[in-house]
Structure 1
Amino acid sequence: MIIKDKEGNVIGPKEEMHWEAVEAMMPINDTLKAKLSTKKIAAAWFVSNCKAPSGRDLIAKQLQTELGKYNMQVDIFGKCGKKQCPRDSMKKCLKLVETDYYFYLSFENSFADDYVTEKLLNGLNNYAVPVVYGGANYTRFMPKGIYLTAQQSRIRELAEEMVDIINDKQKYYDFFKWHKHYSYHNPRESRDIDVYCKLCALVNNQEKYLRTSVYKNFIQWWNFGNEASP
């Protein structure tokens, strides 16, 4: 993920981010209000791994149950739910997030420091409020006040909060005030940052790493050094 300011400068993510307070940001304009006015379903979740180590499937099911008490729903797309979204139709499915869903469940499959995937971008860049569940310090990626956090101990309270926000348009609008100040981008849009993302991917995927020319070249160098040693 790349974060830019309103001038287009890359500002993050960094270990310490100095966000403008949401309370101090200007209200959203009528164009954005019109875009948000088509929302009608509480939340969407796109998922293919139904037994992730983080236990996110249980959290999603609990949230689905709690929201159901208010006649609101969580639509689950993929192998773990009733809605389908083939990979070659992802853009079309994300368009549904933009037009139909108030919230997007950005639930990670495992907990690790600073581990945030494209799930967060799916919400931010498709006009849905992210509901995060993971091990990252999310203030490195977003200012407080533009996302909600799911915790196993407070799913009922989370559902109540979501319902309250859905029923209060001004509260919902405030979650999008960041649009005038920041923008979020896929790392592939930047050559400089993409290098580091690829390195990270190699380190975290041993099987793929072992197949790379970088690793093979290192082994050749290592063997040559050992053969040349007395």
Structure 2
Amino acid sequence: MEPPLIIKNLHFLDNMFNMTMTFRQDSDVYRPYGRTEALREPQSFTIPVKSKLVAWVVSKWYPGVRRNEYYKELNKYIPIDVYGKSHMKLSWDDFYTTVSQYKFYLAFENSIYKDYITEKLWSNAFDSWAVPVVLGTTRKNYERFLPGEAFIHVDDFPSAKDLADYLIQLDNDDERYKNYFNWRSLYRVRRETGWDNHYCKACRALRQAPDYQVIPSLEKWFLEGTNV
């Protein structure tokens, strides 16, 4: 479930595996962090009352990753409330009630990697009913898994200042802001959490697999995902 930034020394596992189970859609066993599922009938929804602007929950500051520098630049033009280690404290019990007060949530990934769209979007933002501002893989890659109008991508803007100006515009225009929730009348978010689900899906795949591929270099296969 983690990208190459975190998973090291995969070369020690060369010539040991024939099947993969990761968040990448081209894995033998696909295990995404979340997915959207079409509803049988359109449903109405109510957006929680918002009293704050932008939130970000982060605990690990990996050196040299893009999200750190982008946050610093964005924060010059718009206030961002940061929670987590070395920032404002936030318990899991208060997580969703706190984040749901914000109009926008920075779903900034620690890696730009194929199909790597984590709980930062699927849970932190969507479960809190905050519009996710994403930084990670390409918009095209995001739109393989969720509606394009469900999020704001940093790459859609020439600079962090342009993004900040846009968020401020949305803050002052309720109708335009609400457009980022229209998809919820047609889709719902599904997440399968817990290792029991992972193991069961792996067992089903093993029983049903007609054959296995050969993966001489697990490291090489995994690093291919960086080319997004």
Query: Which TM-score applies when normalising by structure 1?
Result: 0.64
Q: CA deviation at 1:42?
A: 1.4
Identity %: 28
Q: C-alpha root-mean-square deviation of aligned residues, in Å?
A: 3.0
The correspondence for 2:69, drawn from 44, 58, 83, is 58
Q: Flag structure 1 segments of 5+ consecutive residues without an equivalent.
A: 9-25, 68-72, 200-204, 207-230
- Cα distance in 2 between the residues matched to 1:64 and 1:115: 25
Tell me what 2:201 maps to.
Answer: 195
The alignment partner of 2:117 has SS state of: coil
- AA at the equivalent of 2:114: D
Q: CA deviation at 1:64?
A: 1.4
Q: CA deviation at 1:53?
A: 4.4
Cα pair 1:56 1:107 within 8 Å, conserved: yes
Q: Flag structure 2 segments of 5+ consecutive residues without an equivalent.
A: 1-33, 206-217, 220-228
Q: CA deviation at 1:114?
A: 0.7
Cα pair 2:149 2:183 within 8 Å, conserved: no
Q: Mark the structure with the bigger radius of gyration.
A: 1
Cα deviations by residue, 1:170-203 (Å, 9 ceiling, x for unpaired):
011111111111111222289479736xx9xxxx
Query: Which TM-score applies when normalising by structure 2?
Result: 0.65
Q: CA deviation at 1:52?
A: 4.7
- Cα distance in 2 between the residues matched to 1:4 and 1:193: 22
- AA at the equivalent of 1:178: W
Tell me what 1:172 maps to.
Answer: 177
- Cα distance in 2 between the residues matched to 1:135 and 1:95: 28
Tell me what 2:95 maps to.
Answer: 93
Q: CA deviation at 1:157?
A: 0.7
Tell me if 1:159 matches 2:164.
yes
Tell me what 1:4 maps to.
Answer: 37
Would the alpha carbon gap of residues 51 and 188 (structure 1) be closer, same or farther in structure 2, given more than 3 Å must change? closer
Cα pair 2:96 2:127 within 8 Å, conserved: no
- Cα distance in 2 between the residues matched to 1:44 and 1:102: 8
Q: CA deviation at 1:91?
A: 3.9
User: Going by fraction, where is helix more abundant, 1 or 2?
Assistant: 1
Q: CA deviation at 1:105?
A: 0.4
The alignment partner of 2:175 has SS state of: helix
- AA at the equivalent of 2:162: E
